[in-house]
Homo-oligomer: A and B are copies of this chain.
Amino acid sequence: MTTQSANPRYRSERSHKAILDAALKLCLEQGFAKTSVDAIAKEAGVGKQTIYRWWPSKTAVLVEAINRLGATSVGFPDTGDIYADLRTQMVAVAEYFRTTESSTYREVIGAAQSDPAAAQAILDTLVTPRVQDCRRRLERAQQQGQIRADADLDDVVELIYAPLYYRLLLGTRPTAPEQVEVILNLVFDGLRPRTPEPASGVSGS
């Protein structure tokens, strides 16, 4: 998942892995901001140049490292019930956002606000693939009539995940898994009062 250029197949896989591991470890221990490239190099037993040869910045290293962590998780579940599947996935995300280790992700997104290349890498590497997974699941649900036919699915994906990111990045409140139900409820049923029948049950499919 290298972002940089300038060399061929001579790359040392040993150093590659050591750098990613060291970067993650140090970020966990002291935070992304306090983790310097020098420190990563030293921790990895690697020359600083070796880092700069393969990544354009500290942020890029961590984008790759974070991605490698999350790469194990497979795609979106599909039980046939879109509400349940979204809940499953969102709860996983909400749980992750509550852990300390998500701080690194959070800080990386923060750093990317001043680093367009890093922002692009985050999008391409971390966000878009997962968004696409979600979107594909939504498409099936829409075809099955579980979701309004006129809804733009890109908008829907954002509507669903945005509250989690909002809380992560603004720190208004923790992304508790219980809140996932609340969000999904609102998103599925909308704000408008159900005129005849008194706002019926919430979840379902």
Q: Enumerate chain A interface residues (CB-CB to B < 8 A).
A: 31-33, 81-83, 106-107, 109-115, 119-120, 122-123, 127, 131, 144-152, 155-156, 158-159, 161-163, 165-167, 169-172, 179, 182-183, 186-194, 197-205
Residue of B nearest to A145 (CB): B199
Tell me, rounded to whole Å, the shortest Cβ–Cβ distance linking A80 to chain B.
10
**Which of B114, B159, B189 meets A32, CB within 8 Å?**
B114
Tell me, rounded to whole Å, the shortest Cβ–Cβ distance linking A141 to chain B.
8
Question: What is the bound-complex CA distance between A205 and B171, given in angstroms?
Answer: 32
Given contacts A148-B199, A182-B152, contact A169 B205 (CB under 8 A): no
Tell me if B162 and A189 are in contact (CB < 8 A). Answer: no
Tell me if A159 and B146 are in contact (CB < 8 A). Answer: no
Residue of B nearest to A143 (CB): B199
Tell me if B190 and A187 are in contact (CB < 8 A). Answer: yes
Write out the residue numbers on chain B whose beta carbons fall within 8 Å of the beta carbon of A147.
191-193
Tell me if A182 and B155 are in contact (CB < 8 A). Answer: yes
Write out the residue numbers on chain B whose beta carbons fall within 8 Å of the beta carbon of A171.
119-120, 123
